[in-house]
Amino acid sequence: MKGSVEVYSLFTDFDVSLFQAGRHFKLYEKFGSHTFLRNGNGGTYFAVWAPNAESVSVVGNFNGWNPYSHTLYVRWDGSGIWEGYIAGVGVGELYKYHIRSYQGEVLEKGDPFALQWERAPRTASIVSTTWYEWADDEWMRARHEYNALNKPLSVYEMHVGSWIRDPDNPQQLLTYRDIAGRLVEYIKETGFTHVELLPIMEHPYYPSWGYQITGYFAASSRYGSPQDLMYLIEQLHLNGIGVLLDWVPSHFPGDAHGLFRFDGTHLYEHADPRQGYHPDWSSYIFNYGRNEVRSFLISNALFWLERYHADGLRVDAVASMLYLDYSRNEGEWVPNEYGGRENLQAIGFLKELNEAVYSHFPDVQTIAEESTSWPGVSRPTFSGGLGFGMKWMMGWMHDTLQYFSRDPLYRQHHHGQLTFSMLYAFHENFMLPLSHDEVVHGKGSMVHKMPGDEWQRFANLRSLYLYMYTHPGTKLLFMGCEFGQTAEWDYNKSLDWHLMQYAPHHGMFTFIKALNHLYRNEPALYEHSFSPEGFEWIEEGDASNSVVAYARKGIDAGNDLLIILNLTPIVRYFYRCGVPSPGEWEVLLNSDDGDYFGSGVEQQTVQAEPVRWMNKDWSAQFTLPPLAGLVLKKRKRNAE
C-alpha cells in the first residue's frame, strides 16, 4: 500500500479562471498524472475534472484497485477539479479514476490527460512522462523554411500499423522505433518533404485506424512508448523531413473507460443526441460551447506541437463540425440561435484553435479536411476566415478521379471535369489529396480505378500524378499509391512491397521519385502555389483530342514551365501548341519514358516559332506520347 492522498495542487487561481473561461491552452501541465519529489519522497500528483461527481478516487495495482483508500480532494472553488498527491506511486503504475456520481452511478474511467495507456484491449492509464533529450534543434530552428506556403510540400500519408510488418511475423505490429530507420531512408529516396501519420493517439478499436480516440494525450501503446514516437519524429527531422499528425477534435467513441458520460453526465459531449451523437461514426460530438471542453481540445493541439515537435496538424472531419445538420434528416438537428444550420460554437472553436496554434507555433501548419464550399477556411480569422493554413481540395480529387476512371474514348465529353478546378483553385490555400479514403471500403486501389489493360492503367495513373504535381496547390499521396499497389488498403497487413520487383510497379516508384525531384527543384511549381500568378492556361478547350496545356510560373520568368497532357492512347504527332516565350524548350519529364514502364515515345527539345497559336505569339510542334504528360522548360542561353 502506498501513502495516503495528500492535499496538494498544481493549479493557481489564475489557472482555474483560465480553464473556466476556455482560455487555458496548456492544461497538460496541470491535469493528469505528474511525478515529482515532495517532502523528500517520490510520488505522483493526480488531477481530473469531474464537476458532477460525488467522489473521485484513484485505483490501481498500488492499492489493489480499492476505490476507498485513495480518494482525491475536490477544490473549494467550484471548478469541479479533484486532485491530490500520492507518495510512492511512480512511472509505470497502472491507474484509473473511480467515480461515483450524485445519482449513485459508479464509473471507472481512464485519465483524459494520461500520457500513456495500456495496450488495447486493456484500458488502464499509465503514469508516464514525455521527457526526452531532443536532438533536432537545427530542424526546429529552420522549419519555418520547410513549412512555408511558398515552399514545396509533398506529403506521404501513412498508417503506422500497416506500412510494413515483419515478414516472419506478419501479425506483430512494429514499433515507432522499429520502422524509423527504414522510413527515413524510404522518404529520402522517394523525395517527399513530409510524412503525415494517421492518428497515433490512443484508440481502443484498431479498425478505426485511429479516428476513434480515447487517449488524446497519449501515443498509442500498440507501437511503443511516447519516447519511441519521439525518436521516430526526431529521426525524420534529422534527415530534413517534416511530420504532420492527423488530429480528431470532431468526435470520440462511447467506450465505457473513455470521455463519454465521464462523471455520470454528458460532460464532454452534448446531452441532446441531435447535437451530441454522430450518426456516421456512432460516436459523440464535443460540446464546443463548454469553455472547459475548448480548453481541453486546444491544449491537446498544442501538446502535440510542443511535446512531440509535430510540424502541423491535419484536422479531421471539419465539415461535420461546421454544420448542425451534417448527415442528419429534417427534425434530427437543432438550429442555431438565428435559426440557421451553422454550428456557431464549433466555428468559434476552430477560429480560437488556429489563433492559439499560430500564436504559439507560427512555423507550423494546420490543414482542414473540409469537403464543402464553406468560405474562407484557409483565410485569417481577422478577415472572417477560420484561420487554417491549408484546406484539402476535395472537389479536385472527386472530379479528377472520376475523369481518369473513364475510358479515354469518352473523355472528350467530360473535358470540363479536368479543367473545372481552375475556376476555384485560388479561393483557398488548397492541398491536393489522394488519401487513404480513396483506397478503402470497396473503392479499390488507385491503379485499379484506371481503365484499360495493365499498361494503360499504369500510364493513366502516371498522367494523373503528373497532373496533380503540376496543378497549383500542395500534394498528399497515401502509402502504396507511390508504387501502384494493386490491392485495396488493408489496415491488418503490410503493404505489398514484393510488387516492387515487377516492371510496372518499379516504374511507378521511379516516376514518383522523379516527380518529387521535379516539384522540389522547380520554383514555378511552388512559389505561387495559392495565387493565380502561378498558373496560365495555354490550351484548355481541346476536348476532341483530350489534350490540355498550361504554364506554371515562378517569381523569375526564366523558371516558367510548360505542361502538356495527352489523355488518350493515341500518339499525336506534329501537335502545335503555344509556348509562353521564344527560345528552345527542353523536356524535364516525360511520363511515357521507358524507365517508368512507358512506351518510350520521345519528345526532343523544340525551337519556338513565331507562329501565333492559342493566343500566344510563339508556338512549336510536339510529339505527344500516349496517355502521358510532358513538362518542359526553356533552355537558358548560358547553358547552350
Residues noted as catalytic: 316, 369
In sequence order, what are the residues at sequence separation of 6 or more whose Cβ sits closer than 8 angstroms to the Cβ of residue 339? none
CA distances from 615 to 75, 536, 581, 623, 638 (A): 74, 12, 12, 21, 29
Spatial separation of the C-alpha atoms in residues 506 and 450, rounded to whole Å: 18
- The pairing of strands 32-38 and 41-49 is antiparallel
Looking at the DSSP bridge assignments, the partners of residue 433 are 476
CB 220 within 8 A of CB 228: no
Q: Provide the 8-state DSSP code for 446.
A: H
Residue with grid cell 485495396, as numbered in its chain: 488
**What is the amino acid identity at position 573?**
Y
Name residue 389's amino acid: G
Question: Cα–Cα distance between 231 and 225 in angstroms, integer?
Answer: 10
511: nearest Cα among 405, 590, 447, 452: 590
Q: Is 392 helix (H, G, I), strand (E, B) or coil?
A: strand
List own/partner pairs for 304-308 with CB under 8 A and 24 or more apart.
304/245, 304/247, 305/357, 305/360, 305/361, 305/364, 306/360, 306/361, 307/28, 307/130, 308/130, 308/219, 308/229, 308/230, 308/233, 308/245
